[in-house]
Structure formats: C-alpha cells, structure tokens
Chains A and B, each alone.
Chain A
Amino acid sequence: MKSEEQNTRRVAIVAGGIVSPLGFGLTETLQSLQQGRDCVTPVTTFSVEKTRCKTAAQIDDGRLLSNANRRRQERRLHRASYMVMTALAELLEHAPDFEPEIAIVGTTSGGMSFGENFYRTLGNGGACSAALIANYPPQKQIVDAMEKFGINAPAQVIANACASGTNAIGHAFNAIRTGRYRRILAGGYDALSELVFVGFDSLQAATPEKCRPFDSNRSGMVLGEGAALFALEEFESARRRGAEILGEIIGYGISTDNHHLTQPNPDGSGPRRAMEQALAQAELKPNQVGYINAHGTATVLNDTAEGKAIMELFGEVPVSSTKSMMGHSLGAAGAIEAVVSLLALQHQFLPPNINFRQAELSLNIVANQPRDAQFDCAVSNSFGFGGTNATIVLRKLAR
C-alpha cells in the first residue's frame, strides 16, 4: 500500500460515552459545561487530614454502582471498571452494532485503590481475595467492560501519564487513517486513589484552594476521575452503512519533552511541537481553530509552558481549561476533554474556565461563563509526567 493512499482516510466519531464529575452521559455533561458547574467537593473516600489539598472532583458511587451490581462477578470489580462500563453502555446505546477490532485506551493507575487495600491488608497480617488482586491491573477495567457487552477485542492500554487518553485517541485515529483498522474503541479512564492524591500533594502540585487555570494567582490542580470512550470508524465505511457521524478527528501530534521527569521545559517547546504536528496533519492554519481545550492543570509550571506555546502559535484563539470544573482525571482527562470539545463543536459554544480572576498571559481565556461561538475545529491538549505531550484536532461535521 502506498503511503499517499494510506494517509487519505478520514476518521469519524460515530458514538461517544462518558461519566465524569460533570455527569453521567453526554446530555448531563453538556448541561454542566453550559452552566459552568464547579464539581469539586471534599474528599471522603480516604483520609485527607494530613494533606494540603482536601478536595477533588468525584463521581457519586451510589449512582455509579447502582446498575452494575447484579452479577456476583461484577460486585468484585473496581469502581474504575464501573466507570468504563457506564461510558461503554452509553456508546453502545447510540451505536449498538459497533464492533471494534481493537480497543486503544489510556489510564495511569487502573484499579490502584485495590493495590492500596492489598498493601494495608498485608500490613495487618491478613490475606486478600484473589479477586482483589486480579482486578487491580490497569488493563482489567476495559477488558471487563467489553466482556459485559459481549465485545472480545484485544485491549492496547496506553499509560503515558496524564496524556494517556489523548494519546490513545490520537493513536487510534492514526491507525484508522493509515488503513490499519476500520473500527476502534478509544478513550481513557482513571479513578481517584489515595496514592496518587498524596503523590500530587507531596509535589505541592495540588491546591488547597480553588482550581484556577491560567490565573495569575493559580496555586495548583485538583484531581478528578471518570471515563470517556469514542467509537471511531473509517469515515466512508461509517457513511456507507448510514451511521450517525458526530464529528471527525482530523489531526494528532505527539512529542516528548526530555527536560525533566515531571516539569515541562518552560519555553513551551514540547507542547508547541505536539500542537504544530496536529495542525499540520489536519492541514489547518492556527486561525482556523475556533477553540482550544487546554491541558490547563493550574500548576504554575504547566500553565506557563502551555500558555506560552498557545500564545505564540494561536494568538487570540479562545482557550479554556475545563479542569477548573471537573478536576484532572489523569489518564481519563484527554478522553473526557475530547468529548467536551466534541460537545462544544456540536452545540457551538465555548466551555468556560471557571474560578478565573486575573490574567497572567495575553491569552483569550473563556473566563467564568460559556460563550456562544461559530467554529468548525477545536484543539484538545494533554501533557503528562515523563514529558509526554499530545494534541488532537476535532472537526464538526459539515451539514
């Protein structure tokens, strides 16, 4: 196959599913985004007595687990599995015939809290059930969710820290674009855990205050959790079978910043390379982008580097970090924010960057309130530990 032919396939989003602190499903998510809802609440699942940060954006377990406890085997699963099941159920409701050849998903910690339970039980001289151990590994959640719905496809689980979800969708996009696959289930998931929460607290990357991305007085991130999935399909294949096409992925960029294990190069060169690549693949000029869903963790270092790169490359294009509303869900973040970007395109509005008070950079921040807008393309950024930078470009389907 010639490379010119390989690179001409378009990639359609034919269905999506999401659960996050913003809500269960696309409709609730849209409502929360349009309301600029702050979903950050006090942490209740583990002790935060000795941490600086005491809050996170969390999914209500009562609701999450209510529909998933019927089978004995399911009762043993990690709550991250229930998140993936919830997202997959919504996706399949809209695309019941979708049969992926492979699942490409991102996560950072899988069933981490089961690992914590294992360690604590061991310290108390106890023995754990095999189910606790078996349900801990990071691929288990997607594999179990697929099993529940009768899908038995291989699962390629990408763990590129906080860029995992975007890397998964981006790689899936490229795999369809180059003709390697026709249908891929792509997305990401992560559930809140004590180890990760304390980890970010120990780095003083988590804030005891409100999460204020790109604000001159920002003081750090808050964590979140959730799962989001896309059904991606080769465009012509989807069109031929009459599938509803929600939008397209049209570009992907990935770069590795070798400056430091946890700190981006302050010159913003890593994020910039990822964004430039994604634009080049999408064959777009920066001014053809109408919205940027920034990584925007509200840490001093990320927002300075990302803000600089956005400013230099995109100038006045509107930017928001929706992590201000729903926290940072790590491996799920890129997938959730891809869904947010798709909703913004479909409904022609710009989701707000809440808790914003004072600008530091000359960015066009969508401050505190959503805006109506007319635009065709959106960019979604994710950057992570290890220097991974990932950007995807989404396009509204022309009517």
Chain B
Amino acid sequence: MSLSIAGMSWVTPLGSGVDDVWQQLVAGEAAPVEILENEKNGARYLVRRVPSSTPFPSHPRLRRASAISRFAAAAGLTALRQAKQPLPPLDRIALVFAISNGGVIYTRRFYADIVKSGAQSASPLLFPETVFNAPASHLAAILGISGASYTVVGDGAVGILALKLAEDLIASSDLDACLVVAAEEIDPLVCEAYRQWRFLRDPKKPETGRGMIMSEGAGAVLLERSNGGSEIDQIVPGANFFRRSEASARLGSVVARLENEIGFCIGSANGTFIDRAERVAVGDEIPLYSPKIALGESVGASVFWQLITAAKALETGTVPGSSKPPVNSHALVLACGLNQQTGGLTLRGRDRSAFPGSA
C-alpha cells in the first residue's frame, strides 16, 4: 500500500528546519566536526553534534530526560504541526519509534555507579531512562497518544523496519495515521565500541573519508493512508547479511523487489564497507547521495534523514552533489546497517507547492 507523508521534520547537526538544512545540503555544506574525548582511555573521536542553540519543547516529562528524548520530542512535534490537513483524533494515531543505541548516556552513568560504588549506589531516577522505549513514552505523553506505541530496535537499517511496522498498522482499519520517529544521542561509550569495531574515522586522518563520523539527532514523519499526494510506494525490509561481503547482494535483492523506475538513490554510505556495497547494488548509472557525508552517522535516526532528503530532492528536482533526477522519477532510499540488517523504500513526489516542509 502507498503512504502519504503528511508532515516531516528533523533535528540534525546542521540545524533543525527542514528547508534550512536542505539548503545547506544542496550547497555542499557539512556539519562541523568536533572532538569528543573518552575519559576512560583517552581515546578521541570525531563527532557531529546537534547545535546547543537548538530549541527544544518544554514539558515536565523532559525535565530529567536525556538528549535523545529532547531530539525526538522536537522532531515529532514539528512533524505533527506541519500536517496541512486536520489531524485525526489522537486515539487513531499510532506512534512508532526507531532506535539503535538508545538512551546510552544514562545507561552508561547508571552502570558506572554500579561498577564504581556498588549496586546500592545505583540511581532509581536514571534506570527508567535506560529502557529503549523511554523516549517513545515521553513523546506519547507529551502528545497525548494513548493507543498503539511501538519502539523498534535494530542497526542502521532499523528505520525501514519501523516504517514497515507503521505501514502494517495503517493497513488496519483501526488507525488513520502514524507518527514515526527516530532518534539517537552521542556518548563516548558508543563511539568507543564503534572504534574498537574499526568503523570510525581516524581523528588524525579525517581527510581520508574512510570510516564514519558519529552524529546525533532525530527525524520524524507523519504517515497517512495514500491521498494521492507525495507517497512512499513500497517498503521492503531486506534479508540479513552475515558477512560484509554479502551486503551488496542483500541490498541488490532489495533494489530488485522495489519495482518502480528509480531516478536516484539516497543511500546510507558512511565511509565503511557500506559505501561499496550500495554502489554495487544500485549500479553506476543511478545518482547516489548519502546525507551521512554531511550530517554524520546517526544510526537509528539515519533512515529518516535519508527519507527527508529524498522527499526534498523530489520536491525541488535536485539531488545534492549530483545532476537533477529524471522527471516523474522515483527516489530509492536504501539502508544498510553495520550489523546484518538491510532494507529500502521507494518514494514518489507530488506537486511541489503542496509538499510538506516547503516554505
């Protein structure tokens, strides 16, 4: 079934307005890179962070919440506000949340207290925030969503699986719309895991382009049943790969199942084995752009940044760093995680003036 995008929003290291960030991407700008240091072992990581000037909503639920919940709240609320049609009643809107690393800042702090001072020092205030669905719970409370709420976990392709779940929910007659949100926050512990896994860019050789730069933020889309507007045509969660050499074949299978004529691809290349796997999967003829080059690798949130980039590319007829897509073409959003998961979707544009997020 096709899904209409009724609203969309993102919180990124380049800012948080859809059009503002889009203009920067088209201009070839990239978010500033900072150095994050690990107090445990002195390791240094290149990171792209959400600007400290970013406005976040105020709500009692967010008083003690971690950055990930603030990012999610900002993106989710803005996506809802963008809807041009009146929203369905809240009990007919579901919330689906995609996440990979989750509330890692509080998780690290909570466990650090246990290791350092013993179990009796563990904070009952921190523990609830370590649970994967804490950001979704805060957002549901802020919005007043009291029906279905799901948090989906996975690797960098988790966004596709979350969007598929949303599609399945909307297919039932019980719901009219689904707010799909994804968010991540940066912490040295996660950076160290990716460093030891040999996926991070060497801070001494940032110019090589090899290895990924971690980032943080959120993305959100409000999906409704097809109304003839801008639409996600197909969502295909792909098969898993067990060796990196299998990734291109799995992605190729996803592309083959997405039946529409594809004009360009917004991919998930991040400086790792994914770059080559995606290029092999889509072939040399199709323009391929990854917003991770400019925004960094936000893992769970990344598919939503790709989806919004694809929607803006269709709306404006421009793919950053590439030639214009063919008229009436479909955009392919392809996702390959670092840890086995793959997926993709196709997006079809609509009349530019009616497109959500346009000025």
Contact = CB atoms under 8 A, between A and B. Distances in A.
A50 interface: yes
Contacts, number: 201
Given A128-B196, A175-B168, A154 B238 contact: yes
B64 to A, nearest CB: 9
A152 B239 contact: yes
Contact of A202 (B115, B124, B140, B238): B124
A7 B198 CA distance: 48
A143 B124 contact: no
Contacts of A118: 193
A254 B147 contact: yes
A203 B239 CA distance: 40
Given A140-B340, A178-B168, A256-B146, A133 B197 contact: yes
B55 interface: no
A385 interface: yes
Given A102-B237, A175-B168, A194-B114, A160 B119 contact: no
Interface stretch (A92-100, A119-127, A230-238, A301-309): A119-127
A204 B340 contact: no
B145 A256 contact: yes
A119 B111 contact: yes
B193 A159 contact: no
B95 to A, nearest CB: 8
A284 interface: no
Interface stretch (A12-20, A257-265, A292-300, A351-359): A257-265
A159 B134 contact: no
B127 A256 contact: no
Give the residue among A102, A134, A160, A161 with the most B Cβ atoms within 10 A: A160
A195 B110 contact: yes
Interface residues of B, number: 68
Contacts of B138: 261
A51 B114 CA distance: 11
Nearest to B132: A159
Contact of B172 (A48, A130, A174, A256): A174
A386 B131 CA distance: 9
Contacts of A7: 172-173
A184 to B, nearest CB: 11
A118 B238 CA distance: 30
Contact of A160 (B107, B144, B145, B149): B149
A331 B256 CA distance: 35
Contacts of B85: none
A35 interface: no
Interface string A183-199: 00000000000110011
B132 to A, nearest CB: 4
B41 A122 contact: yes
A274 B270 CA distance: 42
Contacts of B118: 49-50
A251 interface: no
A147 B196 CA distance: 25
A161 B172 CA distance: 24
B154 A108 contact: no
Nearest to B189: A119
A159 B153 contact: yes
A348 interface: no
A180 interface: yes
A199 B122 contact: yes
B2 to A, nearest CB: 13
B269 interface: no
Interface in B54-110: 61, 95, 99-100, 107-108, 110
Interface in A145-187: 146-147, 152-161, 167, 171, 174-175, 178, 180
13 contacts: A107-B153, A152-B239, A156-B164, A156-B237, A157-B161, A159-B152, A159-B153, A167-B150, A202-B124, A258-B146, A386-B134, A387-B137, A388-B133
Given A136-B193, A159-B132, 12 more contacts: A7-B172, A119-B111, A122-B192, A137-B100, A138-B153, A138-B154, A139-B339, A158-B151, A160-B150, A261-B137, A385-B131, A385-B134
> 5 closest pairs, A vs B, by CB?
A386-B137, A154-B237, A159-B132, A199-B127, A3-B173
Interface of B: 40-41, 61, 95, 99-100, 107-108, 110-112, 114-115, 118-120, 122-124, 127-134, 136-138, 140-141, 144-155, 158, 161, 164-165, 168-169, 171-173, 189, 192-193, 196-198, 237-240, 242, 339-341, 343
